Amino acid sequence: MSATSPQLPTVSREWHLVRRPNGWPVPEDFALREAPVAAPEEGRILVRNLHFSVDPYMRGRMNDVKSYIPPFQLDRPMDGGAVGEVVASNAAGFAVGDHVLHGLGWREYADVPARGAKKVDASLVPLTAYLGVLGMTGLTAYAGLFEVASFKEGDAVFVSGAAGAVGSQVGQLAKLKGASRVVGSAGSDEKVKLLVEEYGFDAAFNYKDPRPVVEQLKEVAPDGIDVYFDNVGGEHLEAAISRMNVHGRATICGMIAGYNDTEPTPGPRNMAMIIGKRLRLQGVLVGDHAALQPEFVREVGALVASGELKFHETYREGIESGVDAFLGMLRGQNTGKMIVSLA
């Protein structure tokens, strides 16, 4: 039996990719278009999106190349994490007024299969937390640090791009779990201050300073590092290999420094050090670690509720700001999770 809110809209707006970017995306690569809205068919729900996420991995999906996730289709709505309110339901277990997490962002209204939606509690934490600190980015940080990098008490940890949604959580979790030292890099002096004064990093540096990253890393981690969590790649990865201790482990989560390059990015010039130091470098994809979800939500949810784990979110308001938010995130204009708010 279906349930519907009164006066459903007939039209929704949604962002389409209309041209594959060459290098840095530009606004002309996207179009905000109207689409009809209809009552959901059996087994589906209609959701009014309240917030949706923009993330670095979406840049790769704009290229027509084979990858771990299919590319966005041209002249079709893009997708990504979103939270919203059910306004019509034709699926058991979902009622009008429920709040849900799902994967059809970049639009005002989403027709979602019930199996692709998960109810979330807006009374425990802000809804936006399910897109960040308790969502995909949070689980990425948790799995990347504890399962992929095999973090253990006493490790010295370096996080690049540490003021972002993933990096800030990695550093805090490492400190809470007994790291001997946690250091990070960020793209402004304000973010460096945030890492140390609010997130509890032992030290941090601004990678946009003219001095080489390896010199700055040596200053903040004079005894080397045991774990490197890479969100940036490029010069950062080379510097980390140089400063890693024997049997160091690196989680390769992102390489945003090269996402918009039009030519292949050269690899680190010191790869031979991997042999002598017996280093382990391993990529992380959050989908491989779904089994950790209950443990992650239980442990990190408690840390968020107690205030021990802090997080920031950066907002852009309105569906019209979707592309601006995405481009701003690529340029590092966000502190913590970048979110487009439609509420």
For 179-205, what is each residue's pLDDT tens digit?
999 999 999 999 999 999 999 999 999
Answer yes or no: do 150 and 281 share one domain: yes
Answer yes or no: do 76 and 123 share one domain: yes
Does 295 reside within a domain? no
Nearest alpha-carbon partner for 46 in 32, 59, 36, 31: 36
Answer yes or no: do 157 and 230 share one domain: yes
Answer yes or no: do 282 and 142 share one domain: yes
For residue 116, the 8-state DSSP code is G
Does 40 reside within a domain? yes
Does 304 reside within a domain? no
**Which has more pLDDT, 67 or 74?**
74
Phi, psi of 108 (to 5 degrees): -80, -40
pLDDT at residue 68 in the model: 86
pLDDT at residue 257 in the model: 81
Nearest alpha-carbon partner for 228 in 182, 175, 165: 182
The answer on pLDDT for 315 being more than 90 is yes
The answer on pLDDT for 1 being more than 60 is no
Does 172 reside within a domain? yes
pTM over 0.75: yes
pLDDT at residue 6 in the model: 64
The parent domain of residue 100 ranges over 3-132+312-341
CATH of the domain at 224: 3.40.50.720
Count of beta carbons in the 10 Å neighbourhood of residue 89? 24
Does 293 reside within a domain? no
Number of domains in the chain: 2
Q: What is the dihedral of CA 247, 251, 257, 259, to 10 degrees?
A: 140
The answer on pLDDT for 176 being more than 70 is yes
Answer yes or no: do 114 and 162 share one domain: no
Does 292 reside within a domain? no
The answer on pLDDT for 216 being more than 70 is yes
Q: Are 96 and 4 in contact (CB under 8 A)?
A: yes
pLDDT digits (tens, 9 = 90+) for 118-148: 999 888 889 999 999 999 999 999 999 999 9
pLDDT at residue 304 in the model: 93
pLDDT digits (tens, 9 = 90+) for 145-169: 999 999 999 999 999 999 999 999 9
pLDDT at residue 109 in the model: 98
Mean pLDDT value across residues 303-315? 94
The answer on pLDDT for 25 being more than 60 is yes
198 in helix, strand or coil? coil
Nearest alpha-carbon partner for 128 in 58, 51, 56: 51
Q: Are 96 and 1 in contact (CB under 8 A)?
A: no
Mean pLDDT value across residues 42-67? 95
Answer yes or no: do 255 and 220 share one domain: yes
C-alpha R_g of the chain: 21
pLDDT digits (tens, 9 = 90+) for 86-102: 999 999 999 999 999 99
Does 66 reside within a domain? yes
